[in-house]
Amino acid sequence: MRINFALIFLLLSAQHVRAASCCGGGFALPSLITGDDKAQVTTSISQSQVDTDVYSNGIWQKRNSDDTTQTYKLDYAHIFADRFQYGFSLPIQTRQNNAGGTANKESGLGDISTQLGYEYLPDWDYNPWRPKGIGFISLTLPTAPSIYEVTNSAESRGRGFFAIGAGTVLTKSWLNWDANANFEVHHSFTKVVNNPQTVSGNIVPGNGASFGFGGGYSFGDTRIGSSLSWTYEDPVNVESNGSTSNGSPEKYATGTLSLSQMFNQDWAASLSYSDQTLFGDPSNTVLSKSLALSLQKRWQR
């Protein structure tokens, strides 16, 4: 019961940490079943506020104007064939800013992602040190308008690229303590944009990666936790009219504090605060602060 409880919460509060970045969102860590359940649905709402712009030369500039994003997200994961699982993530975003003296508020679908996971390192015998390991591959679909296609940044709700990724999540708990780590790499594919008002040509992204770890402590049915993750994206280059505009790499780190509560075997909730201004050596990015509330329903095996 206690092991279940800890593992359930490990990623419940970590699903939002990749959401805030330049121009409409980053690569999402998939929602995986890390406990002993058969299926889970997580609904979440998060509010994110742009705090600081960091230039490619590392100089920070505090953002004075409002630029907020509300994200409603539905994550689903289901076990099949004993150790395999599949799932998807469906975000709905509302972006709000006051660009150029005009109040803008745009809502719509974000980038949908799907994943296939496999529990390659089971923890059937509750080994004191060996973690439980789940590997995954994920596919992100560019279902949202990106900054390359719109003239109003409030309309940009996604990165704009097909992306395929692979990674792993490792979890472990000892009595009331738990720890987790995750690592993923992804590749985003070239996109052709033909918009005379923004850009006409090939938008060429590259590879990206993220690494994170965290831990927590459970008091009965309540858990407090913290996590830290680092994210890197290759430069986005633009090939247009026979010339290439070379971008700069983007990197940032996200720290998260979370408070989670399990109501019974099937229901849990989590409140988390994420801040991208506190850690790492960010470059060429937009740093945000966000608050998220998640509610999770699980079905046991």
Partner 1 sequence: MMTRALSVLSFGLFVFTLGCAKPNYQKIDPPNQTQVTKPGDENPNHPTPPTPPSCALFFKTEQICVQYKWTKPQTSLENMGEFDLSFYKLETPDLKVDPGLKPGVKLWMQVHGHGSRPVVITKTDTGLYHVSKVFFSMPGVWQIQFQLLNSSGQPLEEISDEVTFHEN
Q: Which is nearer to partner 1, 33 or 287 (CB)?
A: 287
Contact, 184 vs 166, CB < 8 A? yes
Q: Which is nearer to partner 1, 228 or 269 (CB)?
A: 228
> Residue from 81, 129, 194, 196 that binds partner 1 (CB under 8 A)?
196
Contact, 266 vs 300, CB < 8 A? yes
> Residue from 41, 49, 63, 295 that binds partner 1 (CB under 8 A)?
63
- C-alpha of 249 from chain center: 18
Q: Which is nearer to partner 1, 64 or 264 (CB)?
A: 64
- The amino acid present at 206, given as its one-letter code, is G
Which x/- pattern, by CB under 8 A, does the window 98-127 give for partner 1?
xxxx--------------------------
Q: Determine the Cα–Cα distance for residues 79 and 68; give it in Å rounded to an integer.
A: 35
Q: What is the DSSP string of 119-158?
A: EEE--TT--SSPPEEEEEEEEEE--S--TTT-SSGGG--S
131-150 binders of partner 1 (CB under 8 A): 147-148
Report angle CA 95, 100, 106 to the nearest 5 degrees: 20
Q: With 0-12 CB in 10 A as exposed, 13-18 as middle and 19+ as buried, what is 259?
A: middle
> Residue from 37, 67, 119, 184 that binds partner 1 (CB under 8 A)?
67
Least separation in angstroms between CB 98 and partner 1: 5
Contact, 37 vs 25, CB < 8 A? no
- Those residues whose C-beta lies under 8 Å from the C-beta of residue 48, and which sit 6 or more positions away, are 19, 20, 68, 69, 70, 71, 288, 289, 290
Q: Which is nearer to partner 1, 268 or 286 (CB)?
A: 286
Q: In the numeric block, which tokens belong to residue 259? A: 């408070």
> Residue from 1, 128, 129, 241 that binds partner 1 (CB under 8 A)?
241
- Choices 39-47, 74-82, 190-198, 264-272; region in contact with partner 1 by CB under 8 A: 190-198
Least separation in angstroms between CB 111 and partner 1: 16
DSSP-derived letter for residue 58 is S
Q: Which is nearer to partner 1, 129 or 219 (CB)?
A: 219
By the rule CB under 8 A, 97 interacts with partner 1: yes
Q: Which is nearer to partner 1, 162 or 217 (CB)?
A: 217
Contact, 272 vs 263, CB < 8 A? no
Phi then psi for residue 160, to 5 deg, are 95, 5
Interaction site with partner 1 (CB under 8 A): 22-23, 52-53, 55-56, 58-65, 67, 97-101, 147-148, 151-153, 176, 196-199, 203, 214-215, 217, 219, 224, 226-228, 235-238, 241, 243, 245-248, 253, 255, 257, 277-282, 284, 286
